[in-house]
Amino acid sequence: MGRVWFDDYPEVGLDFSSFKIIPEIIQIDTYDDVNTLSLISTSTDAGFSTPVENNSKDLNGLITELGNYEIEMATSSGGFYSKKIDIISHNTLIVFNKIDYDFELRRLDDEGNRIENSDEELLSQTFVSVDQINIQFFELDGHDLENDGNSCDDIIWEVEGVTDDDGTVDEVDNGQQDVYAFTPNPINRPTQRPVTARNESIRYNVNATILGLRRVFELEQDQIDILRQEYIDFATNFQPGRDNAYLDNGNWNVGNYDYIITESNDNHFDAIYNAIVNNWTSRGYTDNIVVSSAYRNPRRNPGAQNSRHLRGLALDIYPEGGVNLQRWLDLRASGNDININGLSITAHCDRSGTFVDNNCSIANHIHVQWQDIG
């Protein structure tokens, strides 16, 4: 570098080689630490990516062309943030100003109340495909977007299916800036039957990102809703709610799950079976009553789509000690002679799904069915 001499003091000079060039500083506010950035020229689409350390990046030697750029930032939480900047100097320093801020995602019911988990059920995470899912952006510890000059309009929402068969979602315009609403739209639903395996759960990750800070809400069907989803997939007339499911690993469950579904107001299998046995023994029989079928889930049931077995309202039985016409008639009578408050119960001679009450000698089981009354 040269020297500048002062006329009055020729022996004094300034050595420019000792001067530091002050960079052009671009400050960008974020809510998270920035790990990498990408710069793409809006005029040429040329660009590059580079790691970021200590929330700053010196662009000296990286920029060949000045002008308008799109900067995309990837953050520690897995989020992203982009904006346009003007670079007017090759000697530019980008500083990311991390602002203290945090939020969480909550699931709301249709009335706007938070869905809480219990010790036994992750109710906030489970669903069926006809549900509207409402995810709320909830600020923590007194943080306020508006104080930082931002708003809920700046939130970037994304929903990702965990597998290809989870499909996409249909957004719902609910008029609320802080609540993202949608209905699931899974594809390739398994309807082959009969099968003995459980269906896979439908799963989604709901992502919300604001100024690079990303939070994820995981949705995954539990066993009850995987079972309920089968009724939706088969478009059965009866569409059960969660309160129609009962934990039952016993004789009444010929399905693929640890639960049975019943359209009745309770699980009546025990009471009905015990009443049949009592009536049977009162007629002098000592052999056991064998259950050949009770509850079956839709994919386990090869027969009628709206069978009472799918609705938890039927029991198929036969006597262990062999059959003849009189034993069929007595077993049918044992099923018909039941009085349980609130239930109408009937029994029929049945041959492979067809009632044969006029010719019980050809039956291969007794079909007992019930429904709520009153």
Question: Is residue 149 located within the same domain as residue 55?
Answer: no
In this prediction, residue 120 carries a pLDDT of: 82
Residue 258 identity (one-letter amino acid): D
Mean of pLDDT values over 248-262: 92
* DSSP bridge pairs for 86: 68
**Mean per-residue pLDDT, 288-303:** 92
Task: Report yes or no on 227 lying in a domain.
Answer: no
Q: What is the pLDDT of residues 103-124, one digit of tens each?
A: 999 999 999 999 999 888 899 9
Residue 236 falls inside a structural domain: no
- The model's pLDDT over 146-199, given as tens digits with 9 standing for 90+, comes to 999 999 999 999 999 999 999 999 999 999 999 999 999 999 999 998 899 999
Q: What is the CATH number of the domain that holds 127?
A: 2.60.40
**What is the C-alpha separation between 114 and 109, in angstroms, rounded?**
6
C-beta separation of 187 from 167 below 8 A: yes
Average pLDDT rounded to a whole number, residues 197-220? 97
Same domain, 248 and 360: yes
- End residue of a domain, out of 221, 253, 271: 221
Q: How many domains does the chain have?
A: 3
Rounded to whole angstroms, how far apart are CA atoms 324 and 310? 29
Q: Is residue 237 part of a domain?
A: no
Distance of alpha carbon 27 from alpha carbon 30, whole angstroms: 10
- Output the domain CATH number for residue 367: 3.30.1380
CB atoms within 10 A of CB 189: 15
340/246 same-domain check: yes
Same domain, 266 and 148: no
Q: What percent of the chain has pLDDT over 70?
A: 94
* Domain boundary pick from 80, 98, 116: 98
pLDDT higher than threshold 80 for residue 15:
no
3-state DSSP of the chain: CCEEEECCEEEEEEEHHHCCCCCEEEEEEECCCEEEEEEEECCCCCEEEEECECCEEECCCCCCCCEEEEEEEEECCCCEEEEEEEECCCCEEEEEEECCCCEEEEEECCCCCECCCCCCCCCCCCCCCCCCEEEEEEECCCCCHHHHCCCHHHCEEEEEECCHHHCEEEEECCCCCCEEEEEEECCCCCCCCCCCCCCCCCEEEEEEEECCEEEEEEEECCHHHHHHHHHHHCCCCCCCCHHHEEECCCCCECCCCCEEECCCCCCCHHHHHHHHHHHHHHCCCCCCEEEEECECCHHHCCCCCCCCCCCCCEEEEEECCCCCHHHHHHHHHHHHCCCCCCEEEEEEEEECCEECHHHHHHCCEEEEEEEECC
Assess if residue 262 is contained within a domain. yes
- 266 and 216 co-located in one domain: no
One domain, residues 252 and 363: yes
So what's the pLDDT on residue 93? 97
In a domain, 234, yes or no: no
8 A C-beta contact, residue 190 and residue 233: yes
In a domain, 15, yes or no: yes
Rounded CA separation 139/353 (Å): 58
Mean pLDDT value across residues 212-229? 98
Q: Are residues 137 and 19 in the same domain?
A: no
- pLDDT score recorded for residue 10: 56
Bridge partners of 315? 368
The answer to the question of residue 226 being in a domain is no
Is the domain of 85 the same as that of 137? no
Cα gap 270→230, rounded to integer Å: 25
Q: In terms of residue numbers, what domain contains 80?
A: 3-98
Q: Residue 22 has what pLDDT?
A: 81
- Residue 243: which residues within 8 A CB-CB, separation 6 or more? none
Domain boundary among 58, 83, 98: 98
Q: How far apart are CA 301 and CA 287, in angstroms?
A: 29
Q: What is the mean pLDDT of the chain?
A: 93
Q: Is residue 361 part of a domain?
A: yes
Distance CA 320, CA 290 (A): 6
Indicate if 250 and 307 belong to the same structural domain: yes
Q: Which residues of 105-136 are buried (b: 16+ CB within 10 A; e: fewer)?
A: bbbbeeeeeebeeeeeeebbbbbbbeeebbbb
Check pLDDT > 90 for residue 374. no
Same domain, 64 and 107: no
Residue 362 sits in the same domain as residue 246: yes
- The answer to whether residues 270 and 364 belong to one domain is yes
Q: Which two tokens stand for residue 77?
A: 């939480």
